[in-house]
Amino acid sequence: MKANQERIEQHIELLNRFTSTPGQGVTRLTYSKEDLQARNFIKEKMIEYGLEVSEDGFGNIFGKLEGTSPDKPSVIVGSHFDSVPNGGAYDGTAGVVVGLEVAALFKENNVQPTYPLEIIALVEEEGSRFGGGLMGSRGMMGMLSDEDFKKLADKDGVLAEDAMLTIGLDPLKKKVRDHETIRAFLELHIEQGPILEEKGIQVGIVESIVGLTQLEVTVQGQAGHAGTTPMNRRSDALVSAAQIIGDLPELATSIGEGTVITTGRLNVYPNGANVIPDKVTFTIDIRAGKEENILEAVRRTNERIATGQEKGIHISVEEMLYIQPKFLDENIRSILKETSDALEITNCNMQSGAGHDAMVLSDFTACGMVFIPSKDGLSHCPEEWSDASDLAAGTNILFETVKRLMEEETS
């Protein structure tokens, strides 16, 4: 009853083709043509493995294998299938492919689960199209109101709801899932860092996930002529933004304990080479293992921004997402450890510096995560790569863990 490494490799490669930037990494934005291509592939595989396929009002995909006690809550395995712009072939996708492989193992070995098994493919975990992030999992668990969902739009002003309709999804379908219907959530994910590779260890068993907040800053100045406006009469939004952004790395370092701050997206308006920018929007992504460090970083960031309000410069800050550090389920972690040891797969405990859907679900159900090594620790870039043998090892661990969870009575 072992995972089929070639099939895993083939599925990763096939999903890798559904990108709007071929040759420059995976760009698969939520509700895009590429989303639809990947969605159809995932649903086709779910049907092939005997799962009952459904989608909710956000477009999250579920493949269910009924258990011998169908009224029991489901053990859910999966991850997200959207990407960052020009990202890699494994972030999120690896967890969906491994989930499909677990379902294939149940079918091929004719294993009838006691609790229902569900394979899940979540939307908009990255927030690349509609901002914030963790949208599919937050929506499914009732942490995104219908009112707020209806307001979501991409950078071109396309509403999330309209984008759903464009690819044939129905936003009127049931959105919020009763968390009593979930027994546990298991997610395999690439580590996205260098630790496992440097230690020569095959899997990481995740103990905790950093807390994170994402801010959207808008700097409003005054447009003007690049040639005729004296330097002492400018309210240059880009200079003001650049000075703030330039101070953030030192702010993170001064808090320490692994606190990180990143500005990943910046837009300049009107973006003319001979025009003094009148508006700049940029993101600030703040993460730390301790909540007090996140709060301190937000406080100091807002303090720094306040000093930028001067001479015709007005700055506003919107909090797009805030999620506390999360600790994953002890019982599941010990099953993952015992299973890894029994399969003679080298393993260690880890913290996650990346955010994951398990951060959302862990407020509602028992969650476990398994990391596999990332080559050179790279992720969120076309160079992202993981070895299919590690994906197969992770699949075997999840397969055995799912069966163990199905033997235990829910508390």
Q: Which residues bind ligand HGY (CB under 6 A)?
A: 125-126, 133, 354-355
Instruction: Tell me whether residue 125 or residue 187 sits nearer to ligand HGY (CB atom).
Output: 125
Instruction: Tell me whether residue 55 or residue 126 sits nearer to ligand HGY (CB atom).
Output: 126
CA distances from 43 to 54, 57, 236 (A): 9, 16, 50
Take residue 240 and report the two structure tokens written for it: 């003001």
171 binds, among Mn ion, ligand HGY, none (CB under 5 to 8 A by kind): none
Q: Which of residues 63-92 bind Mn ion (CB under 5 A)?
A: 91-92
34 binds, among ligand HGY, Mn ion, none (CB under 5 to 8 A by kind): none
> Are 203 and 366 within 8 A, CB to CB?
no
63 binds, among ligand HGY, Mn ion, none (CB under 5 to 8 A by kind): none
Instruction: Tell me whether residue 280 or residue 358 sits nearer to ligand HGY (CB atom).
Output: 358
Count of chain residues binding Mn ion (CB under 5 A): 2
> Are 197 and 376 within 8 A, CB to CB?
yes
- In angstroms, what is the minimal distance from the CB of 378 to ligand HGY? 13
In whole angstroms, what is the distance from residue 280 CA to residue 222 CA?
11
Which one, of 355, 347, 262, lies nearest residue 301 by Cα?
A: 262
Take residue 135 and report the two structure tokens written for it: 């949208």
Cα dihedral 244, 246, 250, 255 in deg (nearest 10): 40
- In angstroms, what is the minimal distance from the CB of 403 to ligand HGY? 29
Distance in angstroms between the alpha carbons of the first and the last residue of the chain: 29
- In angstroms, what is the minimal distance from the CB of 29 to Mn ion? 13
Which one, of 378, 351, 369, 347, lies nearest residue 194 by Cα?
A: 378
Instruction: Tell me whether residue 187 or residue 400 sits nearer to Mn ion (CB atom).
Output: 187
Which one, of 99, 100, 80, lies nearest residue 140 by Cα?
A: 80
Instruction: Tell me whether residue 65 or residue 354 sits nearer to ligand HGY (CB atom).
Output: 354
**Local structure of residue 177 (DSSP, 8 states):** P
Instruction: Tell me whether residue 92 or residue 116 sits nearer to Mn ion (CB atom).
Output: 92
- In angstroms, what is the minimal distance from the CB of 84 to Mn ion? 6
Instruction: Tell me whether residue 190 or residue 241 sits nearer to ligand HGY (CB atom).
Output: 190
CA distances from 406 to 74, 111, 269, 402, 403 (A): 9, 11, 55, 6, 5
355 binds, among Mn ion, ligand HGY, none (CB under 5 to 8 A by kind): ligand HGY
- In angstroms, what is the minimal distance from the CB of 46 to Mn ion? 20
- In angstroms, what is the minimal distance from the CB of 151 to ligand HGY? 21
133 binds, among Mn ion, ligand HGY, none (CB under 5 to 8 A by kind): ligand HGY
Largest CA distance in the chain: 78
Chain position whose Cβ is nearest to ligand HGY: 354
Which one, of 101, 2, 111, lies nearest residue 66 by Cα?
A: 111
- In angstroms, what is the minimal distance from the CB of 189 to ligand HGY? 9
Q: DSSP assignment of 22-43, as one string?
A: TTS-B---TTSHHHHHHHHHHH
**Local structure of residue 129 (DSSP, 8 states):** T
Instruction: Tell me whether residue 34 or residue 91 sits nearer to Mn ion (CB atom).
Output: 91
- In angstroms, what is the minimal distance from the CB of 80 to Mn ion? 6
Q: Residue numbers of the site for Mn ion (CB under 5 A)?
A: 91-92
